[in-house]
Amino acid sequence: MRKIIAMITATAMLTALAAGFGGSAMSRVTAAENNMTEDGLHFLDDSNLGKSELKIALLTSPAGTDDLAVNRGLKQGLNEFLESDKTASFKEFTEKTGKPAACLKMAEELAAGYDVVVACGEMFSGISDVANKCKDTKFILFDAVPLDGKGNPVVLDNVTSFKYRDEESGFLAGIAAAIESKSGKVAAVTAKDNGSVAANAKLGFLCGVNYANKNLGTSVKVPVSDNEMTAKQLIAEGCDILYTASPLCAKEVLRSAKAAQGVRVIGAFIDLFPYGGNAKDNVVITSVYRTQDSDLLAELLTIALENAVGENKESGTYDYSINYYFDTERSQLSDRTDTVLMEVFDMLWQKKVVPASLTNGMSADQFTGL
């Protein structure tokens, strides 16, 4: 089952627009398709849509929007929102240390001058106190869920959080790597990133490789010490396909692959194909991506309509928030890999396969569907 890439932004906008009709996320899209007639759009005449004058702060830590990963995707979503609302504005801020206390302090300082603060990373999970102090500011979190003083998830009226099943991304990448590898060695690059995003993506990748070895006739190995190894070191170990499992690794992986011969890359989070050019070829096979740009766009549109409700969202293949590029302009998948990924995506979507994650108690050697 495939998703038409060009429809992502349109769907996000329909979802946000239709929020004015109420109902669940799925029924909102249906309402938009059925009821967004010329007469039905009159309720927008007096709304802030396109004239919100929202002041938005994008807070990243420790990497900025040049990471070729999550933060870059969020900037793309912000730019799309500004195209639809010329009265809005945003500014980027980076907290260099990555320490939670410093990140939360900067978030509180920004809340004093901005209507919306978009923040990315687990270091922002302690946002609850800040959000309760700054009730007039909307907070949008990615890769973090607001927690109470006991470490339990909490829903706050002015906070919307997004988390993704990165183990599903990793699983798709592991399948593709196992089929495409010629050396018989592949790896998910996390370097020394021990965050949950990198850990889940790597777990999913290992599950994908194990699944391919058991069911698809491959015989591929993953270096056991890849947790601490850079892309350059993994290439020296004989790995010919690398997956950018960490948001911090994309640049290093691309640089190392381009410098080597016969090494290819599976990107993550955003489309890495535009950055994979190397002389006459491109090192990127495909990218398993998230729809964080469209998710942010939809949330900002909802805020502009003054219809935002605090919510903690978790997304994956079942709502097409995780997918892979299959078109020839963004990928170089072999016909076999393409066919297998289509089948595997359906199994993930139907939960016939559930890769291991940090929270579901399964392992790369024992998971649903292996």
Indicate whether 26 and 175 sit together in one domain.
no
CA 109, distance to chain mean position in Å, is 27
- pLDDT by residue for the chain (370 residues), tens only, comes to 333 333 333 444 444 444 433 333 333 233 344 444 555 555 455 677 889 999 999 999 888 899 999 999 999 999 999 999 999 999 999 999 999 999 999 999 999 999 999 999 999 999 999 999 999 999 999 999 999 989 999 999 999 999 999 999 999 999 999 999 999 999 999 988 889 999 999 999 999 999 999 999 999 999 976 567 899 999 999 999 999 999 999 999 999 999 999 999 999 999 999 999 998 899 999 999 999 999 999 999 999 999 899 999 999 999 999 999 999 899 999 999 999 999 999 999 999 999 999 999 999 999 999 9
Secondary structure string (H, E, C) spanning 211-258? HHHHHCCCCCECCCCHHHCCHHHHHHCCCCEEEECCCCCHHHHHHHHH
Task: Tell whether 368 is covered by a domain.
Answer: no
pLDDT value at residue 12: 45
User: Is residue 174 domain-shared with residue 62, that is, in the same domain?
Assistant: no
Amino acid at 278: N
CATH number at residue 79: 3.40.50.2300
Within a domain: 2 = no
Same domain, 267 and 339: yes
For residues 206 and 253, membership in a common domain is answered with yes
Tell me, yes or no, whether 26 lies in a domain.
yes
Q: What angle do CA 311, 65, 295 make, to 5 degrees?
A: 30
State whether 178 and 136 are in the same domain.
no
- pTM for this structure? 0.89
Residue 73 lies in a domain: yes
Q: Let me know the angle formed at the C-alpha of 49 by 48 and 54, rounded to the nearest 5 degrees.
A: 65
User: Do 186 and 85 reside in the same domain of the chain?
Assistant: no
Token pair 């016939």 is at which residue?
352
Q: How many CB atoms within 10 Å of residue 24?
A: 9
CA distance 93 to 61: 9
Asked if residue 253 and residue 216 are part of one domain, the reply reads yes
Tell me: do 170 and 94 sit in the same domain: no
Domains held by the chain: number: 2
DSSP string over 248-285: T-HHHHHHHHHHSSS-EEEEEES--GGG-EETTEE-EE
Q: Could you identify the residue written with the tokens 């302090």?
A: 105
* 358 within a domain of the structure (yes/no): no
Based on the fold, state whether residues 214 and 276 are members of the same structural domain: yes
338 bridge partner residues:
none
Note the Cα 43 to chain centre separation in Å.
Answer: 33
Same-domain status, 230 and 259: yes
| 354 within domain boundaries | no
Task: Report pLDDT for 304.
Answer: 94
Tokens representing 303 are: 């805020």
Identify whether the C-beta of residue 263 lies closer than 8 Å to the C-beta of residue 256.
Answer: yes
The string of DSSP codes covering 332-358 is ---HHHHHHHHHHHHHHHTTS-B---S
**107 in the same domain as 23:** yes
CA pair distance 177, 229, nearest whole angstrom: 18
Name the amino acid, one letter, at 108.
Answer: E
Which residue range forms the structural domain that includes residue 248? 166-289+334-349
Rounded CA-CA distance 122/131 in Å is 16
How far apart CA 243 and CA 334 sit, in angstroms, is: 17
The answer to whether residue 309 sits within a structural domain is yes
